[in-house]
Chain A
Amino acid sequence: MDKDANVAVSMQHITKNFGPVAANDDVSLDIRRGEILSLLGENGSGKTTLMNMLAGIYFPDGGQILVNGKEAVIRSPRDAFDLGIGMIHQHYMLVDVMTAAENIILGLKNEGKLDMKAAAARITGICSRYGFDLDPNQKIYDMSVSQKQTVEIVKVLYRNADILILDEPTAVLTPQETEKLFGVLRNMKKDNKAIVIITHKLHEVEEISDRVAILRHGKFAGMLTTKDTNAQEMTNMMVGHAVQLNIRRPDPVNARPRIKVEGLTVRSSDGLIKLDDVSFTANSGEILGVAGISGSGQKELLEAIAGLQPAEKGSISYINDSGETEELLGKDPLTISNMGVALSFVPEDRLGMGLVGSMDLVDNMMLRSFRRGSSILTDRKFPHNVAEKVVDELEVSTPGLSTPVRRLSGGNVQKVLVGREIASAPSVLLAAYAVRGLDINSSYTIYDLINQQKERGVAVIYVGEDLDVLLELSDRILVLCEGKVSGILDGRTAEKNEVGLLMTSLGGEDADE
């Protein structure tokens, strides 16, 4: 290893605790110039925390940081910028009503007069140098997620950062946008910048990075050279034991139409069109995957079926086993369940909608069952049994049934929610981003549960963001683009690129990049 010259940042024995939890425990790693380093790990393994200490968001409890060979004390994002470290966070921090250029220079201390023209010129310079596609005078509210990300990256480069950290930059991008971002990153690498990308997508690690640092439960699990490793080895290192990386896809048995959506049009409360003339059928015993860039109407679609979202026009019919049809649209969740429609819904916002964070497991199970019986008092015995069953069968790790669910980890929260929703033996299961934020093991548990429901004859509508998973799991894939159905594909034959194109363009023009 040609140590000194190329090492931009050296983190040594870094430790960070949050209360009794060690987010990082004695982590040491080097970040080199002219190299893209992937920081890989399951959720909660401390990747973001570690990088936040470089960005001046957190201060380490122990250990030291060397930048360009000198010991550095980074107490604030400003300190980080002074050292040439810039971090692009998962949640963008931009002022919507300002232009790209205004956002980029925001917060910089300039001597003398503010020269927007010079700033714009410099921004254009940065863009052409690395291959960004950005109009300095465009307002943020007119931008797509990927353009906003570009603004954030340019903002960091404008401040002369030569050590860039990107926190899960591809989570919100389509495959095509991801390709573009990777192109830019490669250009920056050629320019001898040091780049760290935090991710948990293995195929991206393989595609973009030179080295992979793996964290597990806050500890440093190892450093691999990308070209000498493979997905299986990385996963095993990340999880700590060998994992099966295959999702089952049993063939649908006796599939019959269960939910029929016709001409569904939904507007948001401020009049924006969210779903535009959406029609499709979801069959029993089948998983219908829903793909789309976030905010393309997925949320409204599921909520409309669940009775939570009023629609402008269209219809949603439920077809029961004996072939009778009932209209769901315009009914609230209580009416729908009183009609005998067993509809389960795993919403995107787990603790804000699906569960009550401050309540314990029993009380959360009770959300679905508290109306049982004619007594004015609540029956705690039934939900208690359900909670016990869910904890037992889904291996929820919790100190006890009386622990507030907010204290559980993301994976366990999701198990509680999914467990409750399938405990009521649904005939329709709606799930939105069911594995978001979950580690690999928990994700596969959830896929398994969904498959079990499918085999029970449940009509599953599964909104996902990871195309690879959608392609492996779904029998059919419905692609949404700006609220319209841009295509319905067979999950067994669809290509990732094809789905990606449908996500961004209606009607599916030629698959040509």
Chain B
Amino acid sequence: MNDKKGPLFHVARRPHMVWYKAWGIRAIALILALIACAVITTLLTGLNPLDVYATMIKGNLSTPRRVWVLLQELSILLCISLGLAPAFKMKFWNIGGEGQVLVGCLATGAVMILLGDKVPGPVLMILMIVVSLAAGALWGAIPAFFKAKYNTNETLFTLMMNYVGTQLMAYFIIVWEVPKGSGKVGIINQASEAGWFPMIGHNKYLLNILIVAAVTVFMYIYMNYTKHGYEIAVVGESQNTARYVGINVKKVIIRTMCLSGAICGLTGLLLVAGTNHTITTSLAGGRGFTAVMVAWMAKFSPIGMIFTSFLIAFLSKGATEISTMFGLNQSFADILTGIIIFFIIGSEFFINYQIRRRSDGEKEA
């Protein structure tokens, strides 16, 4: 009809999409990502991409031990994400997970070092739990207090708290270093194993995994079925609405950040008492930031976060494996991880929007 044209393509919002179609799009995105990675792998390294993928899978799943390591990694990432989720749901941009985990580690380590041989095991364990939760909660509550009271920018504040946490850790490592002058704490209570999480059977990681599973269930209920969870959702969507129905916004912000920090602090406990048995400044290892992505990709749903943390844990383990197997450096593995995440996040666009070609007549492209 009309031979002069408007823009050839345009983007239109989709009506709500049924869940299986949405997951179909995500699956297609993953396949496209793998194809893109294959092309890049071949171009840059000349390797057979199928070998690379096989190595990735093998690196994660080939032995029971590797599976346990994968699950442990998944749990730690999931636990931090569970901590961040309520804050993000409240639109409080908590990027201080790293610091909150570290102070949890530091608090746990401090109790183990200072009281390890002085108090009975169960008391020690209770102290470690309480102190790690409290430390994380404090680290979360400080920026929340200033946000509530003076409307400071929580993104910068929590980010800065990460550095404070790291430096605090560095300081105490020097105070407690073993042996003197090494700049390291080494394995804490190696002989007595005081404050170490007990193994279940012969498995070092199982307790950690079970604790995180319990936290997941708790957070699922907390976010979806409790009055607190409802208040968080309302504050996140609109502080005006919250005030309008008489929710004390300041109280909710501080309370939620205490919880958010406490769960991150708990992750610190799992890292020190459960697996590493030492304290270093790199214990959190950037997971505080990775967890932001995990939480966002799952849209803050605790169940969804199981899958997204699995994805990220799997990719990063697999990436390490291929970089050692093929003598590539870690950066190459990061490129592949980046491509895959890019496609997965990008697929959300196609779930929410559709691209239509300008149609001549009534045909739709």
Interface residues of A (CB under 8 A from B): 17-20, 59-64, 71, 73, 75, 306-308, 332-337, 345, 347, 349, 352-359, 363, 366-368, 370-371, 376-378
Contacts and interface: CB of A to CB of B under 8 A. Distances in A.
A73 B241 contact: no
Contacts of A64: 1-2
Interface in B304-359: 359
B244 A347 contact: yes
A308 B229 CA distance: 23
B226 A19 contact: no
A334 B246 contact: yes
Given A359-B237, A366-B230, A377-B227, A337 B14 contact: no
Contacts of B225: 377-378
Contacts of A62: 1-2
B246 A333 contact: yes
Given A352-B238, A356-B241, A359-B237, A59 B6 contact: yes
A378 B245 contact: no
A227 B14 CA distance: 44
Contact of A59 (B7, B14, B237): B7
Interface of B: 1-2, 4, 6-7, 12-15, 225-231, 233-234, 237-238, 240-241, 243-248, 359
B237 A73 contact: no
A376 B226 contact: yes
B8 to A, nearest CB: 11
Given A19-B13, A377-B226, A377-B227, A355 B241 contact: yes
Given A18-B12, A19-B12, 20 more contacts: A19-B15, A62-B1, A64-B2, A306-B244, A308-B243, A333-B244, A333-B245, A333-B246, A352-B238, A352-B241, A353-B240, A353-B244, A356-B237, A356-B238, A367-B245, A371-B227, A376-B227, A377-B227, A378-B226, A378-B229
A334 B2 CA distance: 61
A367 B240 CA distance: 12
A147 to B, nearest CB: 30
B187 to A, nearest CB: 41
Nearest to B246: A334
Nearest to B224: A378
6 contacts: A59-B7, A332-B243, A332-B246, A333-B245, A356-B234, A377-B227
A64 B4 CA distance: 10
B244 A334 contact: no
Interface centre among B229, B230, B231, B248 (most CB of A within 10 A): B230
A357 B237 contact: yes
Contacts of B248: 332, 334
B226 A368 contact: no
A368 B245 contact: yes
Contacts of B4: 71, 73
Nearest to A307: B246
B227 A353 contact: no
A47 B231 CA distance: 39
A308 B12 CA distance: 39
B17 to A, nearest CB: 12
Given A334-B248, A353-B244, A376 B234 contact: no
A334 to B, nearest CB: 3
A20 B15 contact: yes
A195 B126 CA distance: 79
A403 to B, nearest CB: 9
Contacts of B229: 378
Contacts of B241: 352-356, 367
A358 B248 CA distance: 21
B240 A378 contact: no
Contacts of A333: 243-246
Contacts of B233: 356, 359, 363
The 8 closest A-B pairs by CB, nearest first: A334-B246, A333-B246, A59-B6, A353-B240, A356-B237, A367-B245, A73-B4, A353-B244
B316 to A, nearest CB: 32
A378 B244 contact: no
A396 to B, nearest CB: 18
A354 B244 contact: yes
Nearest to B222: A376
Contacts of B6: 59-60, 73, 75
Contacts of B246: 307, 332-337
A385 to B, nearest CB: 17
A377 B225 CA distance: 6
Contacts of B226: 376-378
A17 to B, nearest CB: 8
Max count, chain B CB within 10 A of own CB: residue among A307, A356, A357: A356
Which of A17, A347, A371 has the largest count of B CB atoms less than 10 A from its CB?
A: A371
A352 B240 contact: yes
Contact of A19 (B1, B14, B237): B14
Contacts of A356: 233-234, 237-238, 241
Contacts of A306: 244
B244 A308 contact: yes
A20 B12 CA distance: 10
Contacts of B12: 17-19
Nearest to A371: B227
A306 B245 CA distance: 10
A366 B238 CA distance: 15
Contacts of A307: 246
A18 B245 contact: no
Nearest to B14: A19
Contacts of B13: 18-19
Contacts of A18: 12-13
A355 B233 CA distance: 12
A205 B357 CA distance: 39
Contacts of A378: 225-227, 229-230
A61 B240 CA distance: 39
B352 to A, nearest CB: 11
B3 to A, nearest CB: 10
B88 to A, nearest CB: 14
User: Which of A19, A64, A368 has the largest count of B CB atoms less than 10 A from its CB?
Assistant: A19
A229 B15 CA distance: 40
A330 B6 CA distance: 57
A370 B230 contact: yes
